[in-house]
C-alpha cells in the first residue's frame, strides 16, 4: 500500500515541561475555556499513543537526546487508539531548536515486515521517507528497539496554530520485553 506522505517541511517550536497535578487541573480548566479538544480525543478527552522507536546497538538516538544535541533525527512507527487501520512511519527532526516531522502511512502488513527486519520493500515505496528509513537501517544499523505507550490529552487553538498536550501514564520499555518473545512482535502493535 503506497500513500502520499504529508511532508509539509514546516518547522515549529516545541517545548516540553513537567508540571504537578495541581497545575495540570488548573491549566485544563483555563485551556478548555479558549481552546478546542483535539479531534482525535475520545469521550474522556484523551487518546492513546503507541510508538516504536528505532535506534542502533550503541543507542545513538537515545544518547543524542540525553546529551541535548541540537541537530538530531529519530524514526518511529506510531498509531493512535490502537487503531491499526492507520499506522504511520514518522521521521522527527530537530534542527537549531526547531522541529519538523515527516509522515507516511504504512499498512499493518508493512509494519509487521519492518518489525521482522524484512525491509526490502521500503526502497520501492514512492514516499521518500520509507527510503530514508531503509538507508538508515542499512547504513546505521537502526532497528526497532523501544515501545512508548501513553495517554494524551490535547487542546488546539487554530487561529494561532497552537497545540498543547498533556501526557499521562507514560511507559517506555525495550521492544523485546514489551513484546515478550521475538515471535510475538506482531501482537505488540495490537495489544492494549
Whether residue 93 contacts residue 99, with contact meaning beta carbons closer than 8 Å, is answered with: yes
pLDDT at residue 159, as a whole number? 85
Cell of 152: 494524551
Give the chain's count of helices (H) and strands (E). Answer: 6, 7
Looking at residue 9, its pLDDT comes to 63
As a whole number of angstroms, the distance between CA 142 and CA 111 comes to 15
State how far the Cα of 46 lies from the Cα of 13, in Å rounded to an integer.
23
- Does the pLDDT of residue 48 top 70, yes or no? yes
Residue boundaries of the structural domains of the chain: 21-188
Question: Per CATH, is 21-188 categorized as 3.40.50.300?
Answer: no
Q: Mean pLDDT check: name the lowest of 1-5, 32-36, 78-82.
A: 1-5
Q: What is the pLDDT of residues 84-122, one digit of tens each?
A: 999 999 999 999 889 999 999 999 999 999 999 999 999
Hey, what's the cell of 65? 537526546
pTM of the model: 0.81
pLDDT in tens, 115-137: 999 999 999 999 999 999 999 99
Amino acid at each position: 500500500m503506497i500513500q502520499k506522505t504529508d511532508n509539509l517541511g514546516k518547522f515549529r517550536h516545541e517545548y516540553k515541561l513537567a508540571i504537578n497535578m495541581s497545575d495540570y487541573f488548573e491549566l485544563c480548566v483555563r485551556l478548555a475555556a479558549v481552546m478546542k479538544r483535539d479531534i482525535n480525543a475520545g469521550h474522556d478527552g484523551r487518546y492513546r499513543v503507541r510508538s516504536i522507536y528505532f535506534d542502533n546497538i550503541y543507542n545513538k538516538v537515545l544518547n543524542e537526546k540525553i546529551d541535548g544535541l541540537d541537530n538530531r533525527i529519530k524514526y518511529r512507527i506510531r498509531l493512535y487508539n490502537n487503531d491499526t487501520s492507520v499506522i504511520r512511519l514518522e521521521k522527527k527532526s530537530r534542527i537549531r531548536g526547531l522541529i519538523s516531522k515527516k509522515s507516511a502511512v504504512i499498512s499493518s502488513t508493512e509494519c509487521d515486515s519492518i518489525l521482522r527486519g524484512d525491509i526490502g520493500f521500503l526502497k520501492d515505496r514512492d514516499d521518500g521517507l520509507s527510503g530514508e528509513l531503509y538507508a538508515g537501517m542499512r547504513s546505521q544499523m537502526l532497528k526497532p528497539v523501544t515501545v512508548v505507550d501513553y495517554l494524551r490529552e490535547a487542546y488546539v487553538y487554530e487561529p494561532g496554530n497552537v497545540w498543547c498536550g498533556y501526557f499521562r501514564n507514560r511507559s517506555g520499555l525495550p521492544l523485546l520485553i514489551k513484546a515478550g518473545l521475538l515471535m510475538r512482535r506482531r501482537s505488540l502493535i495490537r495489544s492494549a
